[in-house]
A and B are shown apart, each in its own frame.
Chain A
Amino acid sequence: MTGFKLLLRRILPQLITLALVVGLISIMFPGFFEISLANGRLYGSPVDIFNRGAPVALLAIGMTLVIATGGIDLSVGAVMAICGAVAAWGITEGYGLLPTLLMALAAGLACGLWNGLLVAFLGIQPIVATLILMVAGRGIAQLITEGAILTFNHEGMIFFGSGSLLTVPTPIIIAILTGALVTLIVRRSALGMLIEAIGINFRASTLAGVNTRVLLVAVYMTSGLCAALAGIIAAADIRGADANNAGLWLELDAILAVVIGGTSLLGGRFSLIASLIGALIIQAVNTGILLSGFPPEFNLIIKAVIILIILVLQSPRVRTVLAFLSTARADAAGQEKKVVEP
C-alpha cells in the first residue's frame, strides 16, 4: 500500500490542480458534468476533455521519457503530420487497414530513430537535433499529401478518430492503453530506473555499464511511436491528413504537460501518470475557454494566465512558502506541540 501512497503523494498537486480547473469550469458552465449517450458513444464535456486531450496525452507519454533522459523532442508535432499523412495515403491507395496502420507506426519509429541517432551517436543537442525534423517534417508530410488535405472515407480508419468501444471513444482508449502499457513496461522492467539514471548523470550511467546510447535511441523511438498514434487519431478524427495543421504546436503542449506533471526539464525522476494528468489539465483549460463563450481574442491570454498560476503554485519556492504557512498555522493551532527538526 505504501507504493500507492507514494504515487498519490507524487500526483496530488496535479490532481488538485485538475479538480480546481474543472471546478472553475463547472461554476461558469453548470451543465458541464452532464454525460449522455449519443450514437452509442459517451457524450458530454468531460468526455470531450479526455477525447480532445488524447493526442497531447499520447505525445506527453513519449515526451516524458525523452525529458527524463535530459532531452527534449520538438519534432512530435511534425511527426504527427507525417504519420497522419502516411495513414491517409495508405488508406486512399487501398493498402488496407492493417498494413496502413503498420506503415504509419513504422514512419513514427523511423522519425524517432533519426532523432535518436542524431542525439545519441552524433552527440547533437536534443533541442537542435529534433528541431531539424520539426522544420523538415511538415515538408515531408506535404510531399506525401501533395500539398492538399488528403481525405478518406474508410470506416476502419475513421474508427480510430471517432469510433468507440463499449461507448468509450477510441482515442481515449488508445491513450489510456498506451499510457498503461508504457508505464507497465518502464516500471515493471528496469527501463524506468535506467532512463532516470541517464537523465541524472549520463557519464556515471555509462561507467556503471548502462547501455546509454541504445537506451537514448529507444526513448526517442518511443516518442516517435506515440506521435504516430497521435497522428493517426488526429487524421482519423477529421477524416483527412492536413499536413499544414495536424499537430501544429502540440509539441509545446506536450512539453507543458510534462512540466505541469512535475518532471524536471533537466531530466531524472519522472512520472507518466502525472504527465497524463498534466495533458488533461491543459485540455480542460482549452475546453473551458471554448465553453465559456469569451471572444476568441482572449483565448490565449486566459490560457497563459491559468498556466502561469498553475506553474507558480507548483514552483518549489511557492510550495515551500505554502508548506511553511500551513505548518505555521498548524503550529498555532496545535499549541506549538510540534517538534521542529533542526
Chain B
Amino acid sequence: MPHGDARQPLLHARGVRKIFPGTIALDGVDFSLHAGEVHALLGENGAGKSTLIKCLTGAYRRDGGDILLDGESIDPKGTLDAQAYGIGTVYQEVNLLPNLSVAENLSLGHQPTRFGMISVRAMNARAREVLSQYGLDIDVTRTLDSYSVAVQQVIAIARAVMLSGKVLILDEPTASLDAHEVKMLFDVVRSLKERGLGIVFISHFLDQIFEISDRLTVLRNGQLVGTEVTAEIDRVRLINMMLGRELEHETRAHGKLHEAAGDPRLVFSGFGRKGRIEPFDLSIHAGEVIGVAGLLGSGRTETAEVLFGVAHHDSGEARQDGAPVSLMSPRQAIKAGFGFCPEDRKTDGVIADLSVRENIALALQARIGWMRRIPDREQKAMANDYIRKLDIRTPDAEKPVGLLSGGNQQKVMLARWLVTNPSFLILDEPTRGIDVGAHAEIIRLIEELCAQGMSLLVISSELDELVAYSHRVIVVRDRRHVAELAGDQITTGNMVRAIAAPEREAVN
C-alpha cells in the first residue's frame, strides 16, 4: 500500500474532536483506512486510541469532525448502527456469551428460522461453513468457553466480519495470546485483508505492529502525531513519535551527578515473578531517584507491583539496611516504609466517595491500626497542611476526592503517602493526564523529596522528565530489565535506543 494512495479511502475520519469535562480527548484527529489494508493505531495510555475507536463505532458521540465511509458521511448512533454500516469491532476481552454454543454465538440475533422456530441444524451447518473459511474445524455445538481465547478471538472476528464486512477494528486482540496463537490470528487477519477488508489494528507490541501492519498512525495526548508507512519507519523513530521527543543527544539539564554514598538503603536481588517480570537486581540509596523507562506493557508497572507486594514475588529477596525484609503484601511493604502511587488513580488509587481528608489519612490510619483513630483535629490539620503544601485545589478538606481534577487527585495520592513519612516511594506515571501547572509542581516535589533523603522509583513515559530528575534509569522491555543508565548515559536518545533495540543490549 503506497503512502500517497490516490484511491478513495474506505473509511476516512477528518478532524474528529471529543471533549470530556476538563480534557480534550481528541483534538482534530485525521485517520484514513483503505480497503485491503492493515492500519495500526499506536499511542500510550490516554493518547486517545480508544476514544477514536469509540467515535468511529458510535459508542461516543463526537463533538466535531466528519466520518466518511466509501466517501459518504456517516453518523453511527451506536455499535449496532456502526455494524449496519459495515464497521465491526472485536475487543481484547471477547464480548460473546461464554455459555452458549459456538454456533449460537455466531448467529445470535439473526438465527436461521424454520416455521418460526430456530433451526438448529441450519445454524450449526452455517457456523461450520463460516469457520472453515478461517481454517477452524471445531465442534460448533460445544460452548464457547470450552475453547482457548485465541479460538474465541477468531470466532468473534468471524461474527464481526459476517455482520459488518467492510471495516474490522481489532482492539488489542493479542494481549492475552501466546506466540503460536498470535501467528494463527495473523493468518486470519491476512486472509481478511486479501478479501478486501480494511483492518484497524491496535496493539502495544511493536514487533507485531511491524509484522502485520501496512501503515501506522500514532496519537499522543489526543493529537495526531503522524501517519507513516510501516516499511519506511524504524523502531527508534516510532518510539520517538510515541513518546514525543525529537532528540538525539539531549543531555542532563543540570548535571546533578549523584555519587551513591555509603551502603544502599534497599537491595533487591533476583527479584521477580513468573509471567509478570523477569528476576532483576536493583539497589537504591537514600536520596536517590530511580527512573523506569519502557513502553506500556513492557513490565514497568509490574516492577512496581512486585516491589510493593501487590503481586507476590516468587524469586529473589529484598534487604533493607542490610536486613532481610518481607514484601509479600502491600501491608508489609508499608510497614517497611514503602509508599506506592499507582498508575490508574481511579481504580487503584483514590477512594472516590471519601473526602480529601479521609483519603490523605487512609494509609497512615491503616498503618497505625483501626483501634487508634487519628483524631479529627489531627486529620484536618494534616489535610490542610498538605492542601497548602501541594496546592491541592479544593474548597475544603471535606470534599469527596472523586470530584477533584486528575492533577489534584494525584496530589492527594502523594499526600496520602507523604503523611506516612515513607523512606521509599514508588510513583507510577505521576504526571499522566494532569495539566501543565500540576505537572511542573509534581516534578519539583519529586526533586524536593529526594533532597530530603527519600528514595524514589518513578515510572514515566515522559523521557525528558526522567532525564530531569533521575540519578539512574532502568529500561524495561518485554518484561525484563534490559539496561541501567547512570550519570551521563541518561539521555532520552539512549533510553529510546534501549527501548527499541529488539535483540541487542542498547547501551555501550
The smallest C-beta distance from B443 to any residue of chain A, in angstroms, reads 23
List the B side residues contacting A191 at CB < 8 Å.
Answer: 370
List the B side residues contacting A201 at CB < 8 Å.
Answer: 347, 350-352
Give a binary string over A154-189; 1 marks a CB under 8 Å from any B CB, 0 the rest.
000000000000000000000000000000000011
List the B side residues contacting A253 at CB < 8 Å.
Answer: none
Say which residue of B308, B310, B334, B366 sits within 8 Å of A194 (CB atoms): B366
- The binding surface of chain A is classed by DSSP as helix
Q: Are A204 and B366 in contact (CB under 8 A)?
A: no
Give a binary string over A10-27; 1 marks a CB under 8 Å from any B CB, 0 the rest.
000000000000000000
> Cα distance A215–B366 when bound, in Å?
11
Closest residue of chain B to A211, judged by CB? B331
Q: Are B353 and A268 in contact (CB under 8 A)?
A: yes
> Cα distance A196–B362 when bound, in Å?
11
Say which residue of B330, B358, B368, B371 sits within 8 Å of A206 (CB atoms): B330
Which chain B residues numbered 457 to 478 have a C-beta less than 8 Å away from chain A? none
- Does A310 count as interface, using CB distance less than 8 angstroms? no
Closest residue of chain A to B361, judged by CB? A193
The interface size of chain A toward B, counting residues with CB under 8 Å, comes to 22
Q: Are A190 and B352 in contact (CB under 8 A)?
A: no
List the A side residues contacting B5 at CB < 8 Å.
Answer: none
List the B side residues contacting A205 at CB < 8 Å.
Answer: 351, 362, 366
- Does B374 count as interface, using CB distance less than 8 angstroms? yes
- Does B277 count as interface, using CB distance less than 8 angstroms? no
List the A side residues contacting B358 at CB < 8 Å.
Answer: 193, 197
The interface size of chain B toward A, counting residues with CB under 8 Å, comes to 30
Which chain B residues numbered 320 to 352 have a C-beta less than 8 Å away from chain A? 330-331, 334, 340, 342, 347-352
The smallest C-beta distance from A113 to any residue of chain B, in angstroms, reads 18
The smallest C-beta distance from A288 to any residue of chain B, in angstroms, reads 35
- Does B367 count as interface, using CB distance less than 8 angstroms? yes
- Does A203 count as interface, using CB distance less than 8 angstroms? yes
The smallest C-beta distance from B90 to any residue of chain A, in angstroms, reads 27
Say which residue of B347, B366, B368 sits within 8 Å of A208 (CB atoms): B366
Q: Are A200 and B370 in contact (CB under 8 A)?
A: no
The smallest C-beta distance from B423 to any residue of chain A, in angstroms, reads 15
Q: Are A194 and B365 in contact (CB under 8 A)?
A: yes
Q: Are B352 and A208 in contact (CB under 8 A)?
A: no
Which chain A residues numbered 38 to 68 have a C-beta less than 8 Å away from chain B? none
Q: Are A209 and B330 in contact (CB under 8 A)?
A: yes
Q: Are A190 and B373 in contact (CB under 8 A)?
A: yes
Q: Are A200 and B366 in contact (CB under 8 A)?
A: no
- Does B434 count as interface, using CB distance less than 8 angstroms? no
A197, A208, A268: which has the most chain B beta carbons within 10 Å?
A208
- Does B229 count as interface, using CB distance less than 8 angstroms? no
- Does B363 count as interface, using CB distance less than 8 angstroms? yes
- Does B416 count as interface, using CB distance less than 8 angstroms? yes
Say which residue of A189, A204, A209, A268 sits within 8 Å of B348 (CB atoms): A204
Q: Are A194 and B353 in contact (CB under 8 A)?
A: no
A190, A191, A196: which has the most chain B beta carbons within 10 Å?
A190
List the B side residues contacting A190 at CB < 8 Å.
Answer: 365, 368-374
Closest residue of chain A to B365, judged by CB? A190
- Does B354 count as interface, using CB distance less than 8 angstroms? yes
List the A side residues contacting B348 at CB < 8 Å.
Answer: 203-204, 207
Say which residue of A197, A207, A268 sits within 8 Å of B310 (CB atoms): A207
Q: Are B310 and A210 in contact (CB under 8 A)?
A: no
Q: Are B350 and A204 in contact (CB under 8 A)?
A: yes
Contacts A190-B373, A196-B353 given; does A207 touch B342 at CB 8 Å: yes
Say which residue of B308, B330, B362, B368 sits within 8 Å of A197 (CB atoms): B362
List the B side residues contacting A239 at CB < 8 Å.
Answer: none
Q: Are B349 and A209 in contact (CB under 8 A)?
A: no
Say which residue of A193, A197, A204, A209 sits within 8 Å of B334 (CB atoms): A209
Q: Are A208 and B353 in contact (CB under 8 A)?
A: no
Say which residue of A200, A209, A269 sits within 8 Å of B363 (CB atoms): A209
List the A side residues contacting B368 at CB < 8 Å.
Answer: 190
The smallest C-beta distance from A9 to any residue of chain B, in angstroms, reads 13
Q: Are B354 and A200 in contact (CB under 8 A)?
A: yes
> Cα distance A201–B416 when bound, in Å?
16
Q: Are B310 and A200 in contact (CB under 8 A)?
A: no
Q: Are A200 and B351 in contact (CB under 8 A)?
A: yes
List the A side residues contacting B416 at CB < 8 Å.
Answer: 208
> Cα distance A210–B348 when bound, in Å?
13
Say which residue of B342, B354, B367 sits within 8 Å of A196 (CB atoms): B354
Q: Are B351 and A211 in contact (CB under 8 A)?
A: no
Q: Are A189 and B371 in contact (CB under 8 A)?
A: yes
Q: Are B351 and A197 in contact (CB under 8 A)?
A: yes
List the A side residues contacting B330 at CB < 8 Å.
Answer: 206-209
List the A side residues contacting B342 at CB < 8 Å.
Answer: 207
Say which residue of B347, B367, B372, B373 sits within 8 Å of A204 (CB atoms): B347
**B→A interface (CB under 8 Å):** 308, 310, 330-331, 334, 340, 342, 347-354, 358, 361-363, 365-374, 416
- Chosen A-B contacts, 12 in total, with CB atoms closer than 8 Å, are A193-B362, A201-B350, A201-B351, A201-B352, A204-B348, A204-B349, A204-B351, A207-B349, A209-B334, A209-B367, A268-B353, A269-B353
Kindly list 12 other residue pairs between chains A and B, CB separation below 8 angstroms, not including A206-B330, A209-B363, A210-B366: A189-B372, A190-B374, A193-B361, A193-B365, A204-B348, A207-B348, A208-B351, A208-B362, A208-B363, A211-B331, A211-B366, A269-B353
The 5 closest A-B pairs by CB, nearest first: A209-B334, A209-B366, A190-B373, A210-B366, A208-B363
